[in-house]
Structures are given as C-alpha cells and as structure tokens.
Amino acid sequence: MPRSTTNPIRTAVVAAIVVALAAGALTGAVTAQTDQPTITVSDVTVEPGDSATVDVVLTSAPDGLAGYALELTVEGDGAAVEGASYPDVFGLTSQPEIADDGTSVTLEAADLGENVQPGAAGVVLATVELNGEAAGEAGLSVEPLQFDTDGGGTMNPATEAGTVTVGGDADAETEASDASGSAASSGDGEDDATDDTDAAASSAGDAGGDETTSTAFALPAGGLVLTALALAFVVAFVARRRR
C-alpha cells in the first residue's frame, strides 16, 4: 500500500497560521470600534439651589476638527442649563442658545487656528453650567448637529450621555445620617456575618479548587494563537505516531 505523501506537521502548522490570522483580524476589528470618535458628557452631583459644571468632550479626532455644532439636553426635571462656555482653542464661537425652560443648549464653534490637529484626543468642546432645582436624577444627552474635519470632510461621532444627580434637602440628609449611625451600632453583627461569609467562601474555594471555570471570549487573541499552535503540534505528533 503506498504511503501518504501528506506531511502532517505542515498541515497542522498551516491550520495554526489560519487561526492566528483570524484572531488578528478579530482583534483589529475590536480596536477599530473602540477608537470611534465619541462625544461624552461628564457626570455631576449638585445640591438644590447650587450650580455645577459638566464638560462635553470629543474622545478623538482622527482627521482633526475644523468646527462643530451640537445640542445638549437635560432629560428630567431636577436640573436646568444656566450657561455654557468654550475653551480657548476655538477662535470663533456662537453665543450658547439656551432654551427658555433650561432643558437644552445649542453650542457651535470653529477651530480657526487649527489647534485640534489630526489624532487629537480628549478635546473639550464646551463646559455647561447646570443649576440643581429638585432632588432627583436627570440624564444629559447630546446630539451632534454637524462636525467638520480639517480636510473638509465630515465626522459622525457616537454619543455617550452623562448624569446630573441633585441631592435631597437637609431633612433627607439627617435621615441618612441617622441610618448610618444605626448601621454602625450593629457593626458586631455585621462582623460575625462577614466572618461566616469568609468561612463559607474559603470552603467553597477548597471544594472547587480542582474545577475549571470557562468564560466566553475571555481568552485574549495572543492566548488563542498559542493555544492553536499547541493544538497543531499535538495533532502532528499523534499523526507521526500512527504512521
């Protein structure tokens, strides 16, 4: 019977290379998604009657930023827009247009000095002042109306909303303080419960030490490549043993 001319080692190595290339392509796709320009709004906490500021930030500008227009909206009744300002990098700005009820503000600026160069990151577009009106929580959503790049193109950034938390009144703070004091007075019971929990966790760890836990997609691309190579050579070794 003629012997097979197929080289099992070559076959295994080729398979490993294919897996490695696929892993690299997957990693590149994930990186590309992560690098997408995004407009974010910072979170803030403010007391009723007080004011606080939030920054509107463009996470990245791969092709620079020539100018922009956007609208920020307060989604809730606990806070209202009081004002807004622009950083000095923008040479031409428009007066912030604040809605009569303070629920939104439209911002527009241009980078005449080309200060925001291609590849810039963490670009502060504006700072918005909010006034706390009633205890509660409100969302801070942002909508890009127009974003132009240095080369005359357009940018379509993603958005990430922020949150403004307006604290309660003095009575609510007193109640929270009393509750904290009561919790502190029961510290011995909590310590005992913590000890029991630690003992149970230790026992569970000993019992399950020999078990293997798997998580979907937890293996990095580098680990996937090494695993594929190891598997390939095992297959090749077995194939040679059978010949």
Tell me the whole-structure pTM to 2 decimals: 0.59
Residue 112 Rama label (left phi>0; alpha psi -120 to 50; beta): alpha
Model pLDDT, residue 223: 53
Domains and their CATH numbers in the chain = 1-34+221-243 (no CATH), 38-168 (2.60.40.680)
For helices 221-242 and 8-34, angle between their N-to-C axes, nearest 10 degrees? 170
Model pLDDT, residue 35: 75
User: Residues 3-35: pLDDT tens digits?
Assistant: 555 555 555 444 444 444 444 444 444 333 447
Low-confidence residues of the chain: pLDDT under 70: 1-34, 168-243
Q: Quick check: 157 and 37 in contact, CB under 8 A?
A: yes
Model pLDDT, residue 32: 39
Q: Cα 236 to the chain's mean position, in Å? A: 43
What is d(CA 147, CA 38) in angstroms, rounded to the nearest whole number? 12
What is d(CA 140, CA 15) in angstroms, rounded to the nearest whole number? 50
